[in-house]
Amino acid sequence: MHRAEIDQEQNLLVLHWIDSLNVSEVDRFQVEIAALLPQLRPDFDCISDISNMRPSSRHVAERIEKLQEFLHHAGMRRVVRIVGKGSGAHVASEQMDRTAAEAGYTTIHAADEQEALSILSRK
């Protein structure tokens, strides 16, 4: 299932999206994320790992867009999305890019966590 974690030292939120989600799972994920955010400073960065995510329905994509808007307004500065090499993750990434644009930000793509951290280390 999906999970969220933080690295306070790097002021980093890491989201792991697994498989496909339904609307109530996205809502629970947002509650989990919201509980972690007070531990981060403003202008935190985010790594969103969707390398094991499958495309979602339109209703779920709309809910993910709301979650992305929430993060954007909560002070998220940059997002690096780990897309991996699977075709399902690339379709999901296209969906997430569209909803991110609607939420008001763009993302940078990376193949793995090491590349994502490298991208974020460049100020």
pLDDT at 94: 78
106 vs 69, higher pLDDT: 69
pLDDT at 3: 93
Using 50, 70 and 90 to split pLDDT, how confident is the model at 4? very high
* Element (DSSP H or E) covering residue 81: strand 76-82
Average pLDDT, the chain: 88
Between CA 6 and CA 18 the distance in angstroms is: 17
- Contact yes or no for 43/12 (Cβ under 8 A): no
- CA atoms within 13 A of residue 23's CA, in its CB half-sphere: 5
CATH topology of domain 3-121: Transcription Regulator spoIIAA (3.30.750)
Using 50, 70 and 90 to split pLDDT, how confident is the model at 89? low
Domain spans of the chain, in order of start: 3-121
pLDDT tens digits for range 6-50:
999 999 999 999 888 899 999 999 999 999 999 999 999 999 998
Which residues, 6 or more positions from 104, have their beta carbon under 8 angstroms from its beta carbon?
69, 72
Tally of CB atoms within 10 A around 95: 19
**Which residue, among 123, 63, 41, 54, has the nearest Cα to 93 in the 3D structure?**
54
**Which residue, among 29, 96, 16, 87, has the nearest Cα to 56 in the 3D structure?**
96
pLDDT at 86: 61
pTM: 0.86
